[in-house]
Amino acid sequence: MTKLLPHLEVETSSNPTASVIWLHGIGADGHDFQPIVAELGLPKTAAIRFIFPHAPSIPVTINAGFVMPAWYDILEMSIEREVDQVQLKKSANAIVDFIENEISRGIASERIIIAGFSQGGAVAIETALSYQHQLAGLLLMSTYFATKDSIVLSEENKSLPIEIQHGQFDAVVPISLSQTSAQFLIQHDYPVKVKTYPMEHSVCPQQIQDISDWIVKCLQLG
C-alpha cells in the first residue's frame, strides 16, 4: 500500500461522496487552509472530504537554502520562475496517490476536485491536467503554470472545469503569470474562468464565497 504524505482531513458530513484535495503554498502546511472549510458555508447536504497534505521540508534555493515545507525547489525569482521540475513532478505523483486512495475509499474520480494556492497550485495543475481519469474540477489560486512546456496533457481531462483566481496587487506571484496560464489553457480548449480580486498574495472573503459557489457547481450540489 502506498504511503501517503502526512495530511489533515475534514469531513463536512459522514460518508463523503466527494473529495477536495487542497495544496498549500511554500513555507506553510496543511493547517493553512483547513479553517476555510467552515467559512465556505456549503449546503448542509454536502458530504465532502477535504484533504490538506503537508509538503515535505526541503532546502529552498531562493531562501538561501533554508529548509522549509515546499513542494519543490525554486531556483530563482524571475517572473517566469525557474523551478526544480523533477521535484514538482514527484510532488504531483504524491497527489495522484491521494486521488487513488480516495477512489479506493469509494469516491469516483469524477467527484474529486484538486485545488492549490501559489506553489501548491503549480503542483495542482500538473497533477490534474496529466491525470488519466476524469476529475471534477481544478481550482488555481495565486499561482503559475511551471510545467506548461513539459506537461503531457491527458485527454480524459480536456473538459475539466478550471477556475483561476488571483489578487490584482500580488507582488509575490504577479497576476501576469495567471494570465499566461489562462492563455495556454484557452489555446488548448480548456473551459477556464478567471477571477481577480483587489488583494495581494492572499485570500479574501469574496473569493471564499466564489470558491463555495464553484465547488457547489462542480459537484452539482445545488
Tens digit of each residue's pLDDT (9 = 90 or more) over 111-138: 999 999 999 999 999 999 999 999 999 9
Indicate whether 157 pLDDT > 70: yes
Residue 1 lies in a domain: no
Q: Are 204 and 174 in contact (CB under 8 A)?
A: no
Q: Which CATH number goes with the domain that contains 118?
A: 3.40.50.1820
Angle subtended at Cα 218 by Cα 8 and Cα 212, rounded to the nearest 5 degrees: 60
| Active centre residues (catalytic) | 118, 170, 201
Calculate mean pLDDT across residues 36-62: 96
**In terms of residue numbers, what domain contains 97?**
7-218
- Does residue 222 surpass a pLDDT of 80? no
Lowest mean pLDDT among 39-48, 79-88, 136-145, 159-168: 79-88
Cα separations (Å) of 217 from 15, 133, 211, 222?
A: 20, 20, 10, 7
Instruction: Confirm whether 77 is domain-assigned.
Output: yes
What share of the chain in percent tops pLDDT 70? 98
- Look at the block and give the residue holding cell 496533457: 153
* H runs (alpha helix) in the chain: 36-39, 85-104, 119-130, 175-187, 205-218
**How does residue 209 score in pLDDT terms, banded at 50, 70 and 90?**
very high
Q: If you average pLDDT over residues 100-105, what whole number do you get?
A: 98
For residues 7 and 48, give the distance between their C-alpha atoms in angstroms, rounded to a whole number. Answer: 16
Helix axis angle, 85-104 relative to 119-130, nearest 10°?
60
Confirm whether 2 is domain-assigned. no
pLDDT at 13: 93
Domain total in the chain: 1
The verdict on residue 50 lying in a domain is yes
Q: pLDDT at position 1, please?
A: 64
* Amino acid residing at 156: E
The pLDDT assigned to 79 comes to: 58
pLDDT at residue number 78: 72
Does residue 52 belong to any structural domain of this protein? yes
* Contact between residue 153 and residue 178 where contact means Cβ atoms under 8 Å apart: no
Burial of residue 73, with CB atoms counted within 10 A of its CB: 0-12 exposed, 13-18 middle, 19 or more buried: buried
Mean pLDDT of the chain: 95
